[in-house]
């Protein structure tokens, strides 16, 4: 039996045991995991150095290396995210619909685990712990398949997690890591219907498209982040500049960073060149439409491809749009349904934007960088879904549940 099938089988068997674990038992396991990660910091960081060294030799971009990189602070943040899950309400067992029939039947719709979650992802080793602990909290087993660029880190993190689970009555088999990162194992993983109940890809647009095209396992799509901010004619200068700088610069390599600035001509006349000058002072390359390119000589002329681009680095596209309706039209054509923002003092413009933009998360006078499970109060996230069925936006605990009808009677039969 291949590694993929063997670990899928073990996870499936463990999933049947997990469903009966109490909230107290699961939270205890999470507490031990959080503690163990901190205790194993030196081992984890040593493994991470191997990945970073290999990544540099492979000429990975700075953005990818940043996603791979772990340090003491990031491990502490990962540990704290695990602890925060213990404070969240366990959705398993929740009755969210009740019907009492005239014949005395009581029909209850309850939340139950999905079963076995398959997770395929690139670079980010923090996803290893996020996915594992969110799954455990919701009574799901998980099979993880990270990329070769972070394999040493992922192995160290799962080893630490298993050490913690060994001290509990939750089976270590509930968290599996596929260590063979070849394309062949990925293709086998896509078709592991016998053991996986759902597959969640998290990474580049290319990875997600490959999974959507090749997988036979049901997929929850987490989309790329071609995010926009629209600066309306009434946008306050200081607020607009602060929001753009935060959304672009605070961490350019993540999916909720903006990639395009849409700006009203009046707003551009007031502070557009100041904004672009500040961005270039931070090393941001400006891809501008023809009008802005002629005014701002430190820019390069944008192409049609730029409007679709997820740069994941210090680059941004900039375009003049005549009004909020034009901004909505541009976003709905080129965006990926992730996170979009408007900066305006006009409430009617804001309302139209928030309703008209087709995205999982839309903002008025705030940075798109808040689209995150932790920021939304979920503790962590499995990813940010850009589809519309089952889950949309940051996927926390409830997104990792299914439902079951429980019917209670006293001998009723149907006539």
pLDDT tens figures, 389-403: 888 888 889 899 999
pLDDT tens figures, 163-182: 999 999 999 999 999 999 99
- Asked if residue 87 lies in contact with residue 168, where contact means CB atoms within 8 angstroms, the answer is no
DSSP 271: I
The answer, yes or no, to whether residue 53 has pLDDT greater than 80, is: yes
Q: Tokens representing 108?
A: 């209850």
- Residue whose token pair is 């939340």: 111
Determine how β-strand 106-113 pairs with β-strand 175-177.
unpaired
Give CA–CA dist 223/358, Å, rounded: 13
Determine how β-strand 384-385 pairs with β-strand 361-364.
unpaired
Report the SS3 class of residue 107: strand
pLDDT tens figures, 348-384: 999 999 999 999 999 999 999 999 887 887 767 888 8
Give the rounded distance of the alpha carbon of 256 from its chain centre.
9
Average pLDDT for 298-312: 95
pLDDT tens figures, 366-376: 999 999 887 88
**Which domains can be identified in the chain, with CATH numbers?**
3-220+395-408 (3.40.605.10), 227-370 (3.40.309.10)
Give CA–CA dist 142/157, Å, rounded: 14
Quickly state the pLDDT bin for 222 (edges 50, 70, 90).
confident
Half-sphere exposure of 33 (CA within 13 A, CB side): 34
Average pLDDT for 317-342: 97
pLDDT for res 331: 98
Quickly state the pLDDT bin for 77 (edges 50, 70, 90).
very high
Q: Tokens representing 321?
A: 């749009």
Average pLDDT for 322-326: 97
- Asked if residue 188 lies in contact with residue 4, where contact means CB atoms within 8 angstroms, the answer is yes
Share of the chain above pLDDT 90, in %: 86
- Residue whose token pair is 């990660």: 37
Give CA–CA dist 332/124, Å, rounded: 29
pLDDT tens figures, 178-202: 999 999 999 999 999 999 999 999 8
Quickly state the pLDDT bin for 206 (edges 50, 70, 90).
confident
pLDDT for res 396: 86
Give CA–CA dist 230/368, Å, rounded: 11
pLDDT for res 382: 83
Give CA–CA dist 409/107, Å, rounded: 9
Total-model pTM = 0.83
pLDDT tens figures, 237-263: 999 999 999 999 998 988 899 999 999
pLDDT tens figures, 105-135: 999 999 999 999 999 999 899 999 999 999 9
The residue among 2, 273, 342, 303 whose CA lies nearest residue 143 is 2
Instruction: Please give the radius of gyration of the chain, using alpha carbons only, rounded to the nearest integer.
Output: 23
Average pLDDT for 129-146: 97
Average pLDDT for 130-156: 97
């Amino acid at each position: 039996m291949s590694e993929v099938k063997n670990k899928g089988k073990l996870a499936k068997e463990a999933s049947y045991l997990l469903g009966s674990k109490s909230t107290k038992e699961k939270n205890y396991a999470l507490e031990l995991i959080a503690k163990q990660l901190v205790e194993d910091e030196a081992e984890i960081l040593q493994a991470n150095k191997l990945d970073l060294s290999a990544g540099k030799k492979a000429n990975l971009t700075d953005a990818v290396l940043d996603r791979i990189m772990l340090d003491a602070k990031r491990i502490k943040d990962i540990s704290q995210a695990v602890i925060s899950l213990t404070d969240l309400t366990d959705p398993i067992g929740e009755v969210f619909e009740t019907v009492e029939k005239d014949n005395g039947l009581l029909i209850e719709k309850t939340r139950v685990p999905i079963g076995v979650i398959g997770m395929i992802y690139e670079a980010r080793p923090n996803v290893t712990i996020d996915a594992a602990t969110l799954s455990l909290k919701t009574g799901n087993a998980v099979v993880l398949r990270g990329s070769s660029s972070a394999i040493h880190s992922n192995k160290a993190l799962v080893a630490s997690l298993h050490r913690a689970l060994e001290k509990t009555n939750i089976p270590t088999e509930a968290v599996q890591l596929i260590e063979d990162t070849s394309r062949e194992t990925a293709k086998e993983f896509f078709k592991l219907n016998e053991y996986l109940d759902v597959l969640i890809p998290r990474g580049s647009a290319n990875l997600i498209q490959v999974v959507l095209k090749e997988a036979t396992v049901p997929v929850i799509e987490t989309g790329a982040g071609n995010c926009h901010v629209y600066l309306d004619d009434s946008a306050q200068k200081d607020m607009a500049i602060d929001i753009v700088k935060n959304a672009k610069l605070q961490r350019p390599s993540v999916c909720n960073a903006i990639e395009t600035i849409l700006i009203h001509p009046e707003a551009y006349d007031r502070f557009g060149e100041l904004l672009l000058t500040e961005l270039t002072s931070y090393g941001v390359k400006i891809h501008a439409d023809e009008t802005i390119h002629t005014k701002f000589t430190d820019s390069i002329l944008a192409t049609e491809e730029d409007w679709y681009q997820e740069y994941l680095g210090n680059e941004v596209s900039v375009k003049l749009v005549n009004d909020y309706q034009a901004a909505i039209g541009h976003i709905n054509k080129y965006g990926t349904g992730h996170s979009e923002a408007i900066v305006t003092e006009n409430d009617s413009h804001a309302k139209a934007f928030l309703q008209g933009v087709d995205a999982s998360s839309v903002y008025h006078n705030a940075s798109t960088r808040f689209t995150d499970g932790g920021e939304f109060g979920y503790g962590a996230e499995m990813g940010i879904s850009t589809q519309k069925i089952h889950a949309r936006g940051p996927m926390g605990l409830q997104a990792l549940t299914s439902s079951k009808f429980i019917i209670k009677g006293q001998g009723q039969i149907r006539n």
